[in-house]
Amino acid sequence: MLRLLRRRQGILLAVFGTVLMILMLADQSIYGLVGRLFSGSGTWATIGERPISSETRGQLARELEVLDRVGWMGIGAGPLGVIEDPAHWLLLTEMARNAGFTTGSLATEMQEAELAQVYTAAGRTPEVDRALSNLFGVIRMFGAMANSPTLSDRRLIRDASSIFGGADCRLMVLEAQATGNEPTEEAIATHFDTYRDVEPSDPEQAFGYRLPDRVAVDWFTLPANVIEDAARGSEAMDTIAILKHWKTNPRGRAFPAYDASIEVPEVVIDDLLAIETDALFDRVDRRLSSTLLEARRDLKTTPEGAFKLPENWSQTRPSLSDLAGLVAQEISVDAPEVESAELQAVLDYGDLPGFPIAATTPAFGQPKTTRDYLNGLRDYELSPLTLPARSQMHSLVFRDPAGGLVVMLPPQAD
C-alpha cells in the first residue's frame, strides 16, 4: 500500500489538492455571487405596490456605514440599538418621512462645530447629509412615540372586553310617536346659523354643517442638483475663489495645508460648493419672499389678523408661473414645471402622489412643514375676501429632504 501511495503521490496530490482548493474558495464564491445579484438594478423589495430597487438597497447599506462611522450620534446605546439590516432601516426612514418628521435641514439639528466634526469623520457628500437627515427624522419619530400613550391592540381588546362583559343589555320596544309639525323656513335658517361653523366632530355638539377645510395648491420643485450645478458654474466657484478658500479656510475645516505645487483637494472644492449652494438657495429665498411681500404690501388687515383682498386679487396676485420664471432668471436655469392639485381636504395631501415632503426654517422654534403651511390656509371668506396673515411662517419657500427648493401658492381654499 505504501509503495502504491509513493508511486501515485503526484496524481493523488493533484486530485485531492484541487478538491481542497474548491472547498476553501466555495464560501467566498457564493458570497460574491450573492453580492453581484444584489448589486443589480432588479427589484429588491416592495412597499405596497411600490417597488424598491437593489440600487436603493445599496444606498441604504451605505447610509448605515456612514452612521457607523459617526457613532449613530449617541443613540446606539438606547432602545433603538445599532441597525445593521437595510430592510429595517428602510422601514424606519419610510415611517419617519411619511409622518413628516424628516425635514432635510441639518442646520436646525446640529451646531456648526458638531456638523464639522461629522463631516471630518465621514466626509461631506449628499449621501452623508441624507443619512444624517434620515437619522434625525427617525429620532424625532421615536421621541414622539415615547411621549404618546402606549396602547397596544391586545390592550385595547382586553379593555373593550372588560367593559362589554359587564354591560347588562335588554331589548325594549318603543311605540312610534309623531315628530311634530314640519319646521318653518325661519326655524331652518336659525338652525343653520347656529351650527354652520361647527364641525361634525365637535365633542360638545356632535353635530355641525361645516365641511373639512379644503385647499387647492400649485407648486414647483427645483431639484438640489440643479441648484448645485448653478452654484458650480457661478463666478464664486472660479479658480481664484477656490484657492482663496483653501488659503483662508474661513470655517476651520480639516483642509490639507496650502501647497501651490499640488492640485486643489476635492474636500476644499466640495466645501466651497456647499457654501455657495446654500448662499444661492438663500438668495432665491429672499427674492421670492420679497416679491410675495411686495404683492401684499398695500393690503389692509382685519382685527383678526387677516388680509383684506381686493376683488381683482386673482388677476393681480403673483402667479406661481411668474415665480418660477423669477427663479430661472435669478440663477440662470430652466424654469421649473408648475404642478397643481384641485380642491381637497388638507389631510388628503399626505397621500397625494408626487406632493413634496418639505419644511422651512422659521426664525424661532421648530421648522414648519408643508402640512403646517396648508393648515394655516383656513377660514377663507368670499365676501369680503380675506387671507390669513400666517405671521408664524418665515417664508413660503421650503426645502425637501434632498436639499431641493419647493415653492407653493394656494389659488383657492374653502
Per residue in 152-165, pLDDT (tens digit) is 778 778 877 777 77
**Helix 266-295 to helix 224-232 angle, to the nearest 10 degrees?**
110
Query: Which one is predicted more confidently, 222 or 382?
Result: 222
State the pLDDT confidence band at 139, using cuts at 50, 70 and 90.
confident
Cell digits for 50? 411600490
Residue 263 has pLDDT above 50, yes or no: yes
Q: Over 60: is that where the pLDDT of 337 sits?
A: yes
Model confidence band, residue 269 (pLDDT cutoffs 50, 70, 90): confident
Query: CA-based angle 63:57:124, to the nearest 5?
Result: 25
Exposure on the CB side of residue 225, measured as CA atoms within 13 A: 2
Model pLDDT, residue 411: 73
Residue range 378-403: mean pLDDT, rounded:
55
Between residues 44 and 391, the one the model is more confident about:
44
How far is residue 239's CA from residue 227's CA, in Å, rounded to a whole number?
A: 20
Q: Which of 56-65, 142-151, 384-393 ranks highest by mean pLDDT? A: 56-65
| Greatest mean pLDDT range, 167-171, 233-237, 362-366, 372-376 | 233-237
Look at residue 380 and tell me whether its pLDDT is greater than 50: no
The predicted structure's pLDDT at residue 157:
80
What is d(CA 260, CA 265) in angstroms, rounded to the nearest whole number? 11
Say what percent of the chain tops pLDDT 70: 73
Helix (H, G, I), strand (E, B), or coil: what is residue 317? coil
pLDDT at 318: 77
Look at residue 238 and tell me whether its pLDDT is greater than 80: yes
Any residues with CB less than 8 A from the CB of 5 and at least 6 apart, and which?
12
Look at residue 195 and tell me whether its pLDDT is greater than 70. Answer: yes
> Is pLDDT above 50 for 371?
yes
Taking each helix axis from N to C end, the angle separating 266-295 and 320-331, rounded to the nearest 10 degrees, works out to 140
Average pLDDT, rounded, for the chain: 75
Please, what is the Cα angle at 279 between 134 and 393, to 5 degrees?
65
Q: Does residue 65 or residue 113 have the better pLDDT?
A: 65
pLDDT at 414: 67
Residue 47 has pLDDT above 60, yes or no: yes
Q: For residue 366, what pLDDT band results from cuts at 50, 70 and 90?
A: low
Q: Is the pTM of this model over 0.85?
A: no
**pLDDT recorded at residue 390:** 46
Separation CA 268–CA 412 (nearest Å): 47
* pLDDT value of residue 194: 83
Q: How confident is the model at residue 379 (pLDDT cuts 50, 70, 90)?
A: very low
Q: Is 137 exposed, middle or buried, given 0-12, 13-18 or 19+ CB atoms closer than 10 A? A: buried
pLDDT, residue 59, reads 85
